[in-house]
Amino acid sequence: MLRILGIGNALVDVSVFVHDDSILEKHHLYKGGMTLIDEETEKVIEQEIRGMNPQMSTGGSTGNAMMALASLGARPTFVGRIGNDELGRFFRDAGTRQGICEKLITCDEHTGVANTFISGYGERSFGTHLGAAMGLKADDITEELLGGCDLVHIEGYLVQNHELMEKICLTARKLGLKLSLDLGSWNIVEENLEFFHHIIREYVNLVFANREEATALSGLQDAAQSLAYIAGMTDTAIVKMGKMGASAMHRGGERVVVPANKIENVIDTTAAGDYFAAGFLYAYGNGAALENCLDLGVVLSESIIQVVGTRLSDEVWEANRRLADLKI
């Protein structure tokens, strides 16, 4: 099994159900996307959702992926920045209990929060205050920090700090490590298109994108064409297609497609892409065929969209681990 280290925004998700878009419109949040908010807006939202039965879980794209990998039986490492507060301790303790090697930098700022608004058909929109997570900087990334791993997985949401992402990429390449990137959100890609093209072409080995992100990166509407375009930029491209399943392609190889199962009870799509990445990386890290990597990714993403937040029951994880054993 490849030793996987993830670097990302250490966040706590606070999830609520909404019946319309009024709160999104009020705070100018992208529907179906991620919008960064300031501390003042975060405090206002905290008050507004207090009576909406908010549910709390560990979050952050890479953090979710590392949590799922640990639940499959891997022993990943997570690098991030938290505050010396209740939310920070919640984040650290949850990962440690699950078996993640936590390399967390602690500071006096508040731990970051991803306010997650779940609307019809499980669509989620994020109003994210990065808090302490924003302080992760290029100087924090050292050869010693990344040493002992084989693959580094990062999230597109780190793109608010180009210097940080570049340092991660350069250090991984210097150490001969594979680099995996989840694009994160279509609006993030659109706003940083030139930079994403640069790091993918220069450094990245695996790219994860959903259909909207693939279109934003490639400029192409067709999923198959987008996949081929991205595969021309990197070693392996993966495009998640929701109800249509997922597809992947190695550079110069054939397109592989895995269908999705029909899920009757889609509750919350939060972390669906993160869990997909975890399933894919677990199989990939064990040398599985591309189709099996996609299969396990699809199964994990289908599991998480049937619950609120980012936690699955022990029974579901046991079934997923049995399937993982078959795939590798």
Give a yes or no: residue 88 inside a domain: yes
pLDDT at position 263: 84
- DSSP class of 132: G
**Helices (H) then strands (E): counts for the chain:** 13, 14
Strand ranges, E, within 70-111? 77-83, 101-107
Give a yes or no: residue 315 inside a domain: yes
Give a yes or no: residue 120 inside a domain: no
pLDDT at position 271: 87
Residue 235 parent element (H or E): none
- Kindly give, in sequence order, each residue whose CB lies less than 8 Å from that of residue 90, ignoring residues fewer than 6 positions away: 12, 56, 58
Give a yes or no: residue 319 inside a domain: yes
Of 178, 186, 136, nearest in space to 7 by CA: 136
pLDDT at position 243: 87
Give a yes or no: residue 220 inside a domain: yes
On whether the CB atoms of residues 6 and 78 are closer than 8 A, the answer is yes
Give a yes or no: residue 28 inside a domain: no
On whether the CB atoms of residues 304 and 273 are closer than 8 A, the answer is no
On whether the CB atoms of residues 151 and 281 are closer than 8 A, the answer is yes
Of 46, 4, 8, 71, nearest in space to 296 by CA: 71
Give a yes or no: residue 208 inside a domain: yes
Residue 204: which domain range? 4-9+60-105+139-327
pLDDT at position 121: 66
pLDDT at position 312: 87
* CA–CA gap between residue 60 and residue 269 (Å, rounded): 14
On whether the CB atoms of residues 280 and 234 are closer than 8 A, the answer is no
pLDDT tens sequence for the chain (328 residues): 899 999 999 999 999 999 899 999 999 998 888 899 999 999 999 999 999 999 888 999 999 999 999 999 999 999 999 999 999 999 999 999 999 999 999 999 999 999 999 887 668 899 999 999 999 999 999 999 999 999 999 999 999 899 999 999 999 999 999 999 999 989 999 999 999 999 999 999 999 999 999 999 999 999 999 999 999 999 999 999 988 999 999 999 999 999 998 887 888 787 899 999 999 999 999 999 999 999 999 999 999 988 877 888 899 999 999 988 888 8
> What CATH code is carried by the domain that includes residue 148?
3.40.1190.20
Give a yes or no: residue 165 inside a domain: yes
* CA–CA gap between residue 316 and residue 61 (Å, rounded): 21
Domain count, the chain: 1
- Kindly give, in sequence order, each residue whose CB lies less than 8 Å from that of residue 254, ignoring residues fewer than 6 positions away: none
* CA–CA gap between residue 274 and residue 47 (Å, rounded): 28
Q: What is the CA radius of gyration of the chain?
A: 18
- Kindly give, in sequence order, each residue whose CB lies less than 8 Å from that of residue 261, ignoring residues fewer than 6 positions away: 298, 302
Residue 154 parent element (H or E): strand 151-155
